[in-house]
Amino acid sequence: MPQDNVRNRTFQEIFEGDVRYEIPFFQRGYAWEKKQWDQLFEDISEEILPDLNDGSSVEEAEHFFGPIVVLEKAFSEGEGRHFVVIDGQQRITTVYLLLAHIMQRLERLQHKAGDALGFALQLRTLLTNTQTSDDDYQRLKLLSTKGDRLPTYRAVFGSEHNPVSPHYLTDVQIYRPGHNQVDEFTTYVERKFKHQFNDVPSLWQLATVLLKSLKVVWIPLDDRKDDPQAIFESLNDKGMPLSASELICSHLFRPLQGVSDFEQLHNMHWLQAIRLFPKREQFEEYLRNLFSIGEKKMVGKHRKIYVYFKNKYRHLNATSARHRLSEIHECAKLYGYVVNPEEKMHPDPAIRKVLGAISHTRMDSCTPFVLGLLRTHAQGSLQTAQALALLNELLTLLVRRKMTEQPTTMYDTMFPRLFGLVANEPDPVKALQEQFRRNGVWVSDQEFEEALVHRTLYRSRDLAFTRMVLAEIDRKLQTHGQFPDYSTTNTIEHIIPQSLDDHWQAYLGDDVNDQRLDTYVNSIGNLCLLSAPANSHAGQNPFVSKIESYSDVTALVRELKAHDSTWNLEAVRERSRRLAATALITWSWTI
């Protein structure tokens, strides 16, 4: 990194004249949050303003604000200077936006103070370029993309103004008001200005502090010698480190820079994929699962996702980058079917149902297998019948292993490569079973039955799984041709209550002292599905009055009433055996 022109600079110097600071595409969008904004205002209030109040000049009350690393380029449109911001993007963007908000507030206060408009005009000269162009965005001295361009323009020129620009229609499509950090900062500043810096003198003092007291170390790069992206990646861990997905985006788009549809590829593929996920962490978990398909083990979390991607695709070219980008976009929707099947519903009802059941097992390690399967099915290389057969075989494994409380440590090495091992076999289901046996995860009928009789099904951390098992067994037991609405019979009733009152203790007699009482109380034989009001009404009522109050709408209740003799632990075990026989049919291995 060249040091010849390294020196301290103020933002007054940085923004003087016609100049443009471009945030390169390999950078993230604006990302500072309340923590960083609070720190800036705290530094101003505690480190700078006291010196001014003690008589220091605004130039003397200096405060170091970190480095800004730039690369100067030839200004392609008119006169002026053009810099690419390699490091310090968050600092320069924050000051630029804050000065814009001060300018807007001063313009609104011109009726209260004669000098407000003059101050505002001084700021406008520093924040906007004078050269004419067919693109109004060129009037901004700080220019970014990734959804920040339009809100930045409105921060400078007013929320009611829209740019005349060939990029405007695209920016409107990708801009979601209130859902980016530029808008968040606007809201933050508006609240701040209500309680502090709420008149013309204090606003102008704040502006002069930003322009003349904040000092940065200005570090220019040599376009002929330095690789700006490599330097950027080496610097990004200072301040707010880039997330794995931001680094992946940077690496993925590097070979695409300069292609005519560069920005459209980002907006229509990368951004559209991200917006399917409410949080960045969820998007990165999706990438982790997608990248794990076909690997020997799950890709690591957080920064390891980027390290994997960079090493795997070290020699990306424009064609392969487009392919990877398209894959990320297309599979994002499929991932929603896997992890959120009740809201992101697969178009095939049968596949949707089994995906919902798989999600209730909470065995998330199987996601690479399921995602790879859905991708192949969506591409037309896997018939729906085969996809369903494989998914049901997977569900059988997950239910049986969860019920038998088998370890899951091998899942991270089994599931990523599993679909690739069976997809092209003549009989994929048989091949899948062979892989289950080879990996030592097969659960026999005997093991499954024993678990259903002697282990707990009701687990407070897994109520969705418990409901799913009970509902599926109930469906198998139904003989009327119509199923009840399981969304209304969705509470789990313990026939022997979990907490025993005096009546139940006397009723159970010696069973109260059984060391496995809690296990059998929470086993399948002691459970049924009721509506919430019915469950609340049953409470700790005696057994006879309980079952008389149960509605016959579910087959589980009808089955119970057909065997309503004395209810004790032996009766619970006997009912567990009966229901286990149905469960063995419901989650049976394909022969």
Long-range contacts of 374-379 (CB under 8 A, 24+ apart): 374/334, 374/337, 374/338, 374/346, 375/293, 375/330, 375/331, 375/334, 376/419, 376/423, 377/351, 378/330, 378/334
Average pLDDT of the residues in 448-466: 94
What does the pLDDT read at residue 490?
A: 85
Strand partners, 486: none
pLDDT level of residue 238 (50, 70, 90 thresholds): very low
Average pLDDT of the residues in 379-398: 96
Q: 403 or 174: which carries more pLDDT confidence?
A: 403
- Tell whether 256 is covered by a domain: no
Q: Are residues 488 and 581 in the same domain?
A: yes
pLDDT level of residue 300 (50, 70, 90 thresholds): very high
What does the pLDDT read at residue 261?
A: 77
What does the pLDDT read at residue 483?
A: 82
Average pLDDT of the residues in 254-278: 81
Average pLDDT of the residues in 228-247: 63
What does the pLDDT read at residue 222?
A: 66
Q: Are residues 399 and 497 in the same domain?
A: no
Min mean pLDDT across 226-230, 362-366, 579-583 is at 226-230
What does the pLDDT read at residue 4?
A: 46
Average pLDDT of the residues in 196-202: 91
The three-state DSSP-derived secondary structure of 33-97 is CHHHHHHHHHHHHHHHHHHHHCCCCCCCCCEEEEEEEEEEECCCCCCCEEEEEEECHHHHHHHHH
Q: Are residues 272 and 217 in the same domain?
A: no
- Tell whether 591 is covered by a domain: no
Average pLDDT of the residues in 269-287: 89
What does the pLDDT read at residue 62?
A: 84
Pair type for strands 81-87 and 19-22 = parallel
Min mean pLDDT across 6-10, 200-204, 240-244 is at 240-244
Strand partners, 218: 7, 68
Q: Are residues 466 and 556 in the same domain?
A: yes
Average pLDDT of the residues in 84-108: 92
Q: Are residues 284 and 173 in the same domain?
A: no
What does the pLDDT read at residue 187?
A: 93
Q: Are residues 414 and 288 in the same domain?
A: yes
Domain boundary among 392, 427, 443: 443
CB neighbour class for 235 (10 Å; exposed up to 12, middle 13-18, buried from 19): middle
- Tell whether 251 is covered by a domain: no
Q: Are residues 220 and 324 in the same domain?
A: no
CA distance 576 to 518: 15
Q: Is the pLDDT of residue 433 over 90?
A: yes
Question: Using an 8 Å Cβ cutoff, are 365 and 298 in contact?
Answer: yes
pLDDT digits (tens, 9 = 90+) for 133-176: 788 999 999 988 767 899 999 999 998 888 999 888 888 877 87
pLDDT digits (tens, 9 = 90+) for 6-18: 678 999 999 999 8
- Tell whether 255 is covered by a domain: no
Give SS3 for 500: coil
What does the pLDDT read at residue 223?
A: 62
What does the pLDDT read at residue 441?
A: 96
Domain boundary among 428, 443, 458: 443
What does the pLDDT read at residue 29?
A: 82
Average pLDDT of the residues in 475-497: 86
Min mean pLDDT across 145-159, 203-217, 403-417 is at 145-159
- Tell whether 223 is covered by a domain: yes
What does the pLDDT read at residue 233?
A: 56
What does the pLDDT read at residue 240?
A: 55
Q: Are residues 66 and 110 in the same domain?
A: yes
Q: Which domain holds residue 477?
A: 449-586
Q: Are residues 431 and 531 in the same domain?
A: no
Average pLDDT of the residues in 360-372: 96
Pair type for strands 63-73 and 214-221 = parallel
CA distance 207 to 427: 72
Question: Using an 8 Å Cβ cutoff, are 314 and 299 in contact?
Answer: no
Domain boundary among 390, 411, 443: 443
For residue 333, give every residue at least 6 positions away whose Cβ sits within 8 Å of its Cβ, in sequence order, or none. 276, 344
CA distance 352 to 337: 8
pLDDT digits (tens, 9 = 90+) for 66-88: 888 888 876 555 567 888 888 88
pLDDT level of residue 374 (50, 70, 90 thresholds): very high
Q: Are residues 354 and 482 in the same domain?
A: no
- Tell whether 247 is covered by a domain: no
What does the pLDDT read at residue 112?
A: 78
Q: Are residues 173 and 276 in the same domain?
A: no
Q: Is the pLDDT of residue 3 over 60?
A: no
Q: Are residues 29 and 176 in the same domain?
A: yes
Min mean pLDDT across 231-245, 268-282, 299-313, 551-565 is at 231-245
Q: What is the mean pLDDT of the chain?
A: 88
Sign of CA dihedral 504, 505, 506, 509: positive
Question: Using an 8 Å Cβ cutoff, are 270 and 328 in contact?
Answer: yes
- Sequence letter at residue 320: S
- Tell whether 115 is covered by a domain: yes
- Tell whether 391 is covered by a domain: yes
How many domains in the chain?
3
Q: SS3 helix, strand, coil % of the chain, rounded to 5?
A: 60, 10, 35
What does the pLDDT read at residue 144?
A: 85
Average pLDDT of the residues in 573-584: 95
